[in-house]
Amino acid sequence: MKRFTDLTQILAFLLFLALGLVLLIVLPRRTFSQQENRVLAQPPRFRLSDLASGAFTQGVEDCITDQFPLRDSWISLKSRTERALGKTENNNVFFCREDTLITRFSEPEETAAASAVRAVNTLAEGTKARVFLALIPSSAAVWQDRLPAHANTADQEALIRRIYGEAECPAADVLSALTEHRDEEIYYRTDHHWTTLGAYYGYAAAARAMGLTPAPKESFQPVTVTEKFYGTVYSSSGVRWVKPDSISRWVDPEGVTVYRDDGEEPSPVYDEEKLAVKDKYAYFFGGNTPRMVIETGQAGGKLLVLRDSYSDCELPFFFSHYSEIHVLDLRYFRKSVREYAEDNAIDDILINYSLSTFLSDPSVFLLGT
């Protein structure tokens, strides 16, 4: 019996390792992971300088991890094991009630808020346009009642209150507007963004702060464009047991022309092609871009929106208020905001960021240039 046990153990061990090795070599290499929404590492090219710096050996290890046979199943096995062990989070994502995944909001750097506000104030002082600030909280603040008990995540309300207290421009209370409707599907359950419904409430709060009358909710006809959306939080969590989200659009794009970057050809408001890929949220305007100009075909002034991706599904609500909407993403657009506003005769500037980008992205400082 002992001899037999020893033999089975040895064989099981060696076969397991050998099978891993063989499959690693034989299976075709993947370039992109749909599940994780990222490009996978490939075998590094050998260079003597890379060997000396350690870049080559690191490249080999990254490639083995990314190309490992059945990668997606292993990731799923890990998150299931974590749940079985009573964990309520994996890779910084909480497993929440109502099939929801929420990323932990980490405490920002001590000085982040102060220096970001300084940039906002510099812009507000330096430009003739009216400047407004709207900070969008993450679902960890609004959907607190879905989080696991005592889940520790930074106090976004206090952060926003502090920033608004120091900002020298009118600010929109997006958090209260969202919290008021927290029983509705205002965020995606599997993505870090807000839904178009959430964006409507955000728009209404911003519009009020800007002295506009927001269009009533009943004036829109929501159209569901996909029901198979698995977002970024789904990817990073490793969780594979939740149901997908659906994406809807509310505003009719009729008569609106969009120019991305400095392109001559207009690009669509709603990019249908993006519904076929993993990152379906890019359906709105086709995703990140340094600069975008929207001609709404309506009467009105000119609005400049300083954006991160939360703005994308909110922008269409502003169509009826302005004739032209300029959209800059300071992560990619590297010229002076003040000069841009002057050159384009901008009337209103809306700084429209998620709190997370506002507190952590270095490009926020460019607001003040």
Partner 1 sequence: MLFSSLLFLFVYLPVTLAVYFLVPARWRNLWLFIVNLVFYGWGEPVYILLMVFSITLNYASGLVIARRREKSRTVLTLCIVLNLALLFFFKYYDFLAENLRLIPFLAFLTPLGLRLPIGISFYTFQAMSYPIDVYRGRVEPQRNYIRFGTFVALFPQLIAGPIVRYRDIAAELSDRRITRASFASGVRRFIQGLGKKVLLANAIGALWDVYKAMDPSALSVADAWLGAVAFTFQIYFDFSGYSDMAIGLGRMLGFEFPENFRYPYLADSITDFWRRWHITLSSWFRDYVYIPLGGNRKGLGRQLLNLLIVWCLTGIWHGASWNYLLWGLYYALLLMLEKAFLLRRLDRGPRWIAHLYALILVVIGWVIFSLEDLGRCAGYLAALFGGGEGLVSSVFLYYLRSFAPTLVILALCATPLPRRIFDRLPEKVRGCASPILMLGCLVLVTAYLVDGSYNPFLYFRF
Residues in contact with partner 1 by CB under 8 A are 1-10, 12-14, 16-18, 20-21, 24, 51-52, 54, 57, 60-61, 64-65, 68, 71, 74-75, 77-79, 81, 85-89, 91, 148-152, 238
Do the strands 257-260 and 291-295 form a parallel or antiparallel pair, or are they unpaired? antiparallel
Choice between 195 and 235, CB closer to partner 1: 235
Choice between 82 and 245, CB closer to partner 1: 82
Choice between 8 and 221, CB closer to partner 1: 8
Which H or E element spans position 141? Answer: helix 139-142
Structure tokens at 295: 């001609």
Choice between 149 and 276, CB closer to partner 1: 149
| In the complex, minimum distance from the CB of residue 83 to partner 1, in angstroms, rounded to a whole number | 11
| In the complex, minimum distance from the CB of residue 84 to partner 1, in angstroms, rounded to a whole number | 9
Choice between 87 and 128, CB closer to partner 1: 87
Choice between 39 and 77, CB closer to partner 1: 77
| In the complex, minimum distance from the CB of residue 252 to partner 1, in angstroms, rounded to a whole number | 43
| In the complex, minimum distance from the CB of residue 5 to partner 1, in angstroms, rounded to a whole number | 4
Whole-number Å distance between alpha carbons of 19 and 44: 23
Choice between 9 and 344, CB closer to partner 1: 9
**For residue 264, what is the DSSP state?**
S
| In the complex, minimum distance from the CB of residue 28 to partner 1, in angstroms, rounded to a whole number | 17
Whole-number Å distance between alpha carbons of 279 and 64: 25
| In the complex, minimum distance from the CB of residue 156 to partner 1, in angstroms, rounded to a whole number | 16
Q: Is 6 exposed, middle or buried (0-12, 13-18, 19+ CB in 10 A)?
A: exposed
Strands (E), 23-149: 32-33, 38-39, 89-90, 93-96, 100-103, 130-136
Whole-number Å distance between alpha carbons of 177 and 329: 25
Choice between 65 and 221, CB closer to partner 1: 65
Q: What is the DSSP string of 266-327?
A: -B-SB-GGGGGSS-GGGGBTTS--SEEEEE-SSSSEEEEEEE-GGGTTTGGGGGGGEEEEEE
Q: Is 185 exposed, middle or buried (0-12, 13-18, 19+ CB in 10 A)?
A: middle
Whole-number Å distance between alpha carbons of 341 and 63: 46
Q: What is the DSSP string of 151-204?
A: -----HHHHHHHHHHH-SS-EE-HHHHHHHTTTS--B-SSSSSB-HHHHHHHHH
Choice between 68 and 164, CB closer to partner 1: 68
| In the complex, minimum distance from the CB of residue 65 to partner 1, in angstroms, rounded to a whole number | 6
Length of the chain counted residue by residue: 369
Structure tokens at 312: 């994308």
| In the complex, minimum distance from the CB of residue 15 to partner 1, in angstroms, rounded to a whole number | 10
Choice between 1 and 276, CB closer to partner 1: 1
**Among 108, 109, 94, 106, which residue's Cα sits nearest to residue 143?**
94
| In the complex, minimum distance from the CB of residue 235 to partner 1, in angstroms, rounded to a whole number | 12
Whole-number Å distance between alpha carbons of 163 and 207: 20
| In the complex, minimum distance from the CB of residue 85 to partner 1, in angstroms, rounded to a whole number | 5
